[in-house]
Amino acid sequence: MKFFVDTANLDDIKSLAATGLLDGVTTNPSLVAKSGHSNFIELIREIASIVDGPVSAEVASTDFEPMLAEAKTLAKIAPHIAVKVPLTPAGLKVCKIMSDDGTMVNVTLCFSAAQAILAAKAGATFVSPFVGRLDDIGQNGMELIADICTIYNAYPKFRTEVLVASVRSPTHVVEAAKMGADVATIPPSVIRQLFGHPLTDKGLAQFVEDWKKTGQTIPV
């Protein structure tokens, strides 16, 4: 499974990229607003300079013609930009045009398996089902991931990767991995939670204490 970080915060991106565990970045208008950055294009350009993998940059328009124009502008920022479009008729039309032109496209705001089928047929590189938002309204978001993975696996000609979005906890990540999802895009705080386990902390503390008792050091 590939790990993307879901943020527009440059400090978080730099910190996580330094671990070597980061495969890409996803952003959206809400995350950009939260970052406080005043120049969206420059922000995406800087993110793309930090991360070699796909960087999702979302269009702002909802109508076809301006959305297509924005998609073409975003695609020019760097070769590894994944233009992000909503799962709407206009968005899928833009997806088809851009993907046919060789641009990576991330179709976002997916909430049903039927929508995921449409994204694959439109040639999306990624489809982003939002598991946390489904959980919020009393549905089981992970059941949607299972359904999409089952459908995509039944049709080898579908090249769209399942990008699990709206991740709220390490449990979402682990369950998605068990289902065979291709990517999870994860908030920085949840990525850091993946490192933690009380027995790891306890064991390390014991090792450190026992090593001190030996009175030894490792030459460096």
Q: How far apart are CA 215 and CA 169, in angstroms?
A: 41
Task: Report the alpha-carbon distance of residue 127 to residue 115 in Å, rounded.
Answer: 9
Catalytic residue among 72, 76, 84, 96: 84
Kindly report the pTM of this predicted structure. Answer: 0.94
Residue 94 confidence (pLDDT): 98
Residues of the chain where predicted confidence (pLDDT) is lower than 50? none
Q: What is the pLDDT of residue 144?
A: 98
Would you call 84 a catalytic residue per the annotation?
A: yes
The pLDDT value recorded for residue 132 is 97
Distance set, CA 62 to CA 84, 90, 110 (Å): 12, 7, 16
Segments of 45-182 assigned E as strands: 55-58, 81-86, 104-110, 126-129, 161-164
Under CATH, what is the fold of the domain 2-214?
Answer: TIM Barrel (3.20.20)
